[in-house]
């Protein structure tokens, strides 16, 4: 067995209705004034008010920054950092989807560190300890509530920059399935496929370890069993909770293992074309699995089994190949296109997409050695919907 490390300091509390206890759960941390980082859509719902009322009951001061956008940019982060410095908040809560939690991470870090967030691209470059950070996810997708990474789009280059630091791990993650019960089906689909992609890429990553693989495989089972039900019966709390836990486990897994070619390429789709991250992942996933199968067919067969495929009597490679169709069928059931042309990808930007993809550290842990011409082929196959 290879030597490995596993580190996850985030305390996790899960339960329906737990958001109403936010103030009580945060009280022991000695917070004077909390900055809630969220998006305009969520602020217009009762969710933010539930959290605010709990803070008032616990006598914790608060401010709200609600200008977060999908695929958050450095401009939005700069505005949020200015806001926290003006208001004097001493802790940060990310409330919402991955964009809100990622923005909260950036705010917490840049409130105590010099320069701009792009100065910290890569691994473990953040020096000063960020402000205390907390997270309440309202989607089951990114797992950002338990990861050490955050992603921002450079508004000048349209490159999605990844910053990874163990200092970005939240102190506490509160999982409340009730907050996800009214998600629109298209958001449920996109975020759910994001979580599934995290789990699959983590399981086959060159940097995976026995603990991360156990989490990833169980995440795959939970998501495969629950995503379609959550999509068509949004109020099914058991399915919603399974999705939240599956997303969390996938996040905990890839925080240790990193990801692979799907994320290396999908980040360029988000940066260049502003395509929603989960949808980009979903559309790319079957094509990257197809590319990777020969590198570790046994692992992909494991995933196929976890997704409910019958592989009895099949070789490892044959069993692994059933996974490609399983993902394509799942995408179709969720209304996700089978090619990236329908998402708005334009091959005129192919050189930039290749360059930006190869810049990603995820390529290095992808199970199959990947060169620029391989990325080109994957992008073209996914665009045309062919293998």
Q: Calculate helix-pair angle for 210-232, 185-204, nearest 10 degrees.
A: 160
d(CA 352, CA 342): 19
Task: Report the pLDDT value the prediction gives residue 3, as an integer from 0 to 100.
Answer: 81
Task: Report the pLDDT value the prediction gives residue 70, as an integer from 0 to 100.
Answer: 87
Sign of the dihedral through C-alpha 180, 181, 187, 191: positive
In tens, the pLDDT along 144-184 reads 999 999 999 888 877 888 899 999 999 999 999 999 999 99
Q: Calculate helix-pair angle for 350-358, 261-273, nearest 10 degrees.
A: 130
Domains present along the chain, CATH in parentheses = 11-180 (3.40.50.1970), 185-384 (1.20.1090.10)
Which structure tokens are listed for 164? Answer: 């990874």
DSSP per-residue codes, 21-53: GHHHHHGGGT-SEEEEE--HHHHTSHHHHHHHH
Task: Report the pLDDT value the prediction gives residue 157, as an integer from 0 to 100.
Answer: 79
* DSSP percent split of the chain into helix, strand, coil, nearest 5: 60, 10, 30
Task: Count how many Cα atoms sit within 13 Å of the Cα of residue 201 in the half-sphere of its side chain.
Answer: 34
By CB neighbour count within 10 A (0-12 exposed, 13-18 middle, 19+ buried), where does 353 fall? Answer: buried
Q: Can you say how many angstroms the Cα of residue 183 is from the centroid of all Cα atoms in its chain?
A: 17
Task: Report the pLDDT value the prediction gives residue 79, as an integer from 0 to 100.
Answer: 97
d(CA 344, CA 226): 29
Which structure tokens are listed for 365? Answer: 């842990």
Task: Report the pLDDT value the prediction gives residue 167, as an integer from 0 to 100.
Answer: 97
Strand-pairing partners, residue 137, are: 96
- For the beta carbon of residue 228, count every other beta carbon within 10 angstroms: 17
Which structure tokens are listed for 113? Answer: 């560190």
Task: Report the pLDDT value the prediction gives residue 163, as an integer from 0 to 100.
Answer: 94
pTM score: 0.94
At residue 270's C-alpha, the angle toward residues 267 and 274, to 5°, is 175
Task: Report the pLDDT value the prediction gives residue 96, as an integer from 0 to 100.
Answer: 96
Radius of gyration for the chain, computed over Cα atoms and rounded to the nearest angstrom = 20
**Phi/psi at 96 (5° precision):** 145, -150
Q: How many residues does the chain have?
A: 387
Sign of the dihedral through C-alpha 128, 133, 138, 142: positive
Provide the pairing of β-strand 160-164 with 149-153: antiparallel
Which structure tokens are listed for 158? Answer: 């349209």
Residues 6+ apart with CB under 8 A from 371: none
Those residues of the chain that have pLDDT short of 50 are none
d(CA 123, CA 368): 22
Residues 6+ apart with CB under 8 A from 22: 50, 51, 54, 55, 93, 136, 174
In tens, the pLDDT along 70-95 reads 889 999 999 999 999 999 999 999 99
d(CA 332, CA 95): 30
DSSP per-residue codes, 343-371: GT--GGGHHHHHHHHHTSTHHHHSSS---
Which structure tokens are listed for 111? Answer: 């409130």
d(CA 205, CA 257): 6
């Amino acid at each position: 067995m290879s030597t490995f490390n596993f580190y996850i300091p985030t305390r996790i509390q899960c339960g329906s209705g737990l958001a109403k206890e936010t103030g009580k759960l945060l009280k022991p941390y000695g917070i004077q004034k909390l900055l809630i980082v969220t998006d305009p859509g969520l602020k217009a719902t009762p969710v933010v008010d539930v959290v605010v009322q709990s803070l008032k009951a616990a006598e914790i001061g608060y401010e709200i920054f609600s200008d977060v956008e999908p695929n958050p940019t450095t401009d939005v982060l700069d505005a949020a950092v200015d806001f926290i410095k003006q208001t004097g908040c001493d802790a940060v809560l990310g409330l919402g989807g991955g964009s809100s939690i990622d923005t909260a991470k950036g705010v917490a870090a840049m409130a105590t560190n010099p320069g701009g967030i792009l100065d910290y691209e890569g691994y473990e470059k953040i020096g000063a300890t960020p402000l205390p950070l907390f997270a309440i996810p309202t989607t089951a997708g990114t797992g950002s509530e338990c990861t050490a990474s955050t992603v921002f789009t450079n508004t000048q280059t349209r490159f999605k920059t990844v910053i990874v630091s163990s200092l970005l791990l939240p102190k506490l993650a509160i999982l409340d399935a009730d907050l996800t019960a009214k998600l629109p089906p298209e958001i449920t689909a996109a975020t759910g496929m994001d979580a599934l992609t995290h789990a699959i890429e983590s399981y086959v990553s060159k940097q995976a370890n026995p603990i991360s693989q156990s989490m990833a495989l169980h995440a795959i089972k939970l998501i495969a069993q629950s995503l379609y039900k959550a999509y068509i019966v949004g109020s099914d709390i058991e399915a919603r909770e399974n999705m939240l836990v599956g997303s969390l486990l996938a996040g905990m897994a890839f925080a240790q293992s990193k990801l692979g070619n799907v994320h290396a390429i999908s980040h360029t789709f988000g940066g260049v074309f502003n395509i929603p991250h989960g949808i980009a992942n979903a559309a790319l996933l079957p094509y990257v699995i197809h590319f990777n199968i020969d590198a570790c067919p046994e692992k992909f067969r494991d995933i196929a089994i976890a997704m409910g495929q019958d592989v009895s009597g099949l070789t490892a490679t044959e069993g692994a190949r059933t996974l490609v169709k399983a993902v394509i069928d799942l995408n179709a059931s969720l209304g996700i296109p089978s090619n990236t042309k329908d998402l708005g990808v334009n091959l005129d930007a192919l050189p930039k997409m290749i360059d930006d993809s190869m810049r990603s550290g995820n390529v290095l842990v992808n199970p199959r050695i990947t060169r620029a011409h391989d990325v080109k082929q994957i992008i073209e196959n996914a665009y045309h919907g062919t293998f």
